[in-house]
Structure 1
Amino acid sequence: MRKRVVCLGSNEQEVQDFTSEFAADVDVQHFDNPTNFLSWLAKGEYFDAILDSASLTSPLGLNLIRTLKKDIGIKEPIFWLTNDSVSSGLQSMLVDAGVTDIFSQKIEKEKLLAQLQLTDTGKTAISATQKNPYAYQNPIGKRTFDILVSATALLCLSPLFLLVALLVKLESKGPAFYYSYRVGTGYRIFRFWKFRSMRQNADKMLTSMKNLNQYQTAIAEEPAQQFTSLCAACTAAGTNCQSPLIDSQGKTICEKQYKVAKQAENGAAFIKIANDPRITKIGMFLRNTSLDELPQLYNVLRGDMSIVGNRPLPLYEAEKITTDHFAARFIAPAGITGLWQVSKRGKGGNMSEEERKELDIEYAKNFSLRKDLQIILKTFPALFQKENV
């Protein structure tokens, strides 16, 4: 009997290529948005497997898989398709969400058909992915601490909340509170609350201002890459290249040079703009004193975040951190304050993107309640430094 496979993703060409290659063995049903797919599913339509090629943070990505497996309770296997290498940490997240196996976009036909054949016997294949040694488990002590601190702070600071909300509304039209979708622990997406510190159309202005991004500027300031046989570091040391690559024409290039050039081509993962013109006067005060962050205590109470952890990222930033060991930053709790904030705050924007990622990974590997208390104590003096983060 022919198998019926659901393909989730926005790339029509990929679906056409798959349909053409598997036409003799598989019927393909394609959906490019979750609403249509869930409506189709609600009609009782049958299928044998799902192939998901969407980005992790898209509406068809990781959250939809969790919904299908843990809320709706579908039994059919879900296969994840990607063009990129997948770190052990990301593998653990995918498996935990309900992914059966991971394929490259160039699907191994025999392997997929073998996986689909197992559905006849009610079995599913077990993925060969490795468990991440740093997989985040929320300790009871840390969660208890978060609940006690956030609940007490929300109660005690309620008069301040009312005052700040009034000042925000008096200066500019719009709501006192603002939320955006952020990506936290395990690539989970949640509403991230702040006091509004920007004009109402701030998000629409961002595209035209990306040239002001401090992280992008740091990339642009790197020496122009000529792809010579030696990078500047090896030349200065008087050694041969320690990490040579061979391009398609057989020419030797330096891996370090290549990585910098590719990063410049793809753009910075983080976005931060000094003297951001979208910020209101009250908003600037709130940011300099970090009062705009207070509503995140509600996120902590809900369990979206912790008091201390790695900063949850906007979707457009998180989508760029999915393939190498930097994905380990998402295997730690998302937090209001964290290691990179207290390590580099007030340094005039001199923190590089790589430094920030490495600090996030360091926290993910070594966090503890004792370390959290140390970071909290360092956070208070950092609040009075000029640089806001």
Structure 2
Amino acid sequence: MSENIYATQGAPTIALVGFENAFSEILTDCNFNDKEVVHFENGMKMVSAWSEHNINIVAIISYSEIMAPAGLALIETLKKRELPVVPFFLVVNYFNPNLRKLALTAGISDVFRIPLKAKRIEKRVNFLIDNWNQLKDNIIPKVPPIKNIGFAKRTFDVFFAGLALFFLSPLFLIIYIMIKMESKGPVFYYSLRAGTGFKVFKFYKFRSMFVNADQRIKDLKHLNQYDIDAGSKDTTEKIRETHCSQCAAEGKCQYPLYADNIQWCEKDFKDAKMASSGSAFFKIKNDPRITKVGNFIRNTSIDELPQLWNVIIGDMSIVGNRPLPLYEAEKLTTDKYVLRFAAPAGITGLWQVEKRGKGDMSEDERLMLDNTYAKNQSFVNDIKLILKTIPALLQKENV
């Protein structure tokens, strides 16, 4: 059924998100008893239709990777809109035990990995729908304990961010003009980031790269500062020139950057699914993708200033662990690394202060410092880090 033809008023409805024509035959073979099936192009259209037309949705099946917009981010949107809690299923290409744990603790009822089996989908979906009233109250998420920001930290965040936005408004205008004069494209952009408790939110920055920067990642992969084994890897390995299987099925990138009416890919999804020996982070010294103005605003951390708005609305704090791109966060779901997500997401943090200007930093060092901050986070320690941040900004290293 098309999303433009909604289910019979009050009829139990199963919402299919993002499938379009993918796996239509398999889903058609499923017997969902008296439930009607409605297709939605994406999660936001489903949420809007659910709210505006009072559809009786009893289950959601979304074709999306766990960390993509129609995965955990959609779960968060449903919670914010205070829509009814119903069984939520994901159909994914990429999967591992750690992602399964993350999905289930976030509120996803079950995950189906491609290739799909109609009988399994039919059995699981019907069972959970029929027994949902008894099962939903027994679901107790086992997530790492989240650090409570506290009244003092939140008050300081709002006061400091508001004051900074007011006094820095002339600087915002100057940077706006400089970026516009040097290169075509939007001045601000946002991408999706995983912050405290793997919460996904919009992360704002000044644009410091050329708009087509993502297209050059595959050509610069061997320069990755975090990949200590890069020299021994076969740099001639063929990298997919088009979308990965997930993005190809959707007809668009699942990890985009957004700015005005422009959208471009943040990271080729296939890179995110490399063997675990690959680095979770991507960083290059003297990165040629960066504009001249971008190089200046990065070295002075001016490109981070729009995140003050993230602080005002509560997505981030002034001090905390850096929120990560989704393709990086999905590689850090093991017990060894998950602790970093228990701390507040922040603009500046321990690893920026401790390592800036002191040479290269390995991935393990960065994660160790993130975990250390999470263990020792307090308002007093945050103030100490803020006092150390200013001299750290004067270092000459390109970071």
TM-score of the superposition, structure 2-length normalised? 0.70
Asked if the contact 2:222/2:230 (under 8 Å) is kept, the reply is: no
Q: Which of 370, 376, 393 is residue 360 of structure 1 equivalent to?
A: 370
The residue identity in structure 1 corresponding to 2:84 is I
The residue identity in structure 1 corresponding to 2:320 is G
Asked if the contact 2:59/2:86 (under 8 Å) is kept, the reply is: yes
**Paired position in structure 1 for 2:71:** 61
- Aligned-pair identity in percent equals 46
Q: Which of 119, 128, 131 is residue 142 of structure 2 equivalent to?
A: 131
1:199-232: CA deviation from partner (whole Å, max 9, x where unpaired):
23323333433332212x31335799xxxxxxxx
The yes-or-no answer on 1:34 pairing with 2:47 is: no
- Counterparts of 1:341 and 1:271, CA distance in 2: 16
Q: Which of 130, 148, 153 is residue 117 of structure 1 equivalent to?
A: 130
**Paired position in structure 1 for 2:219:** 208
How has the CA–CA distance of structure 1 residues 6 and 135 changed in structure 2, closer, same or farther, with 3 Å as cutoff? same
Larger Rg computed on CA atoms? 1
Instruction: Give matches, 1:55-204, under 5 Å.
Output: 55-71=65-81, 73-79=83-89, 83-86=95-98, 90=102, 94-95=106-107, 99=108, 101-102=109-110, 105=113, 114-119=127-132, 122-127=133-138, 129=140, 131-204=142-215
- Counterparts of 1:169 and 1:114, CA distance in 2: 56
* Structure 1 residue 186: Cα displacement: 3.1
1:164-212: CA deviation from partner (whole Å, max 9, x where unpaired):
3333333334444343333322333333233332223323333433332
The residue identity in structure 1 corresponding to 2:286 is N
Asked if the contact 1:89/1:132 (under 8 Å) is kept, the reply is: no
* Structure 1 residue 143: Cα displacement: 0.8
SS of the residue 1:76 aligns to: coil
SS of the residue 2:290 aligns to: coil
* Structure 1 residue 286: Cα displacement: 2.0
Asked if the contact 1:183/1:315 (under 8 Å) is kept, the reply is: yes
How has the CA–CA distance of structure 1 residues 59 and 286 changed in structure 2, closer, same or farther, with 3 Å as cutoff? closer
- Counterparts of 1:92 and 1:332, CA distance in 2: 21
Greater displacement, 101-110 / 309-318: 101-110
Q: Which of 369, 375, 381 is residue 391 of structure 2 equivalent to?
A: 381
**Paired position in structure 2 for 1:306:** 317
TM-score of the superposition, structure 1-length normalised? 0.72
- Counterparts of 1:191 and 1:40, CA distance in 2: 22
* Structure 1 residue 60: Cα displacement: 1.2
**Paired position in structure 2 for 1:247:** none
Asked if the contact 2:147/2:344 (under 8 Å) is kept, the reply is: yes
**Paired position in structure 2 for 1:263:** 276
**Paired position in structure 2 for 1:236:** none
Q: For structure 1, which runs of at least 5 residues remain unmatched after alignment? A: 225-260
Instruction: Give matches, 1:215-294, under 5 Å.
Output: 215=226, 217-221=227-231, 262-264=275-277, 267-294=278-305
Q: For structure 2, which runs of at least 5 residues remain unmatched after alignment? A: 1-11, 235-273
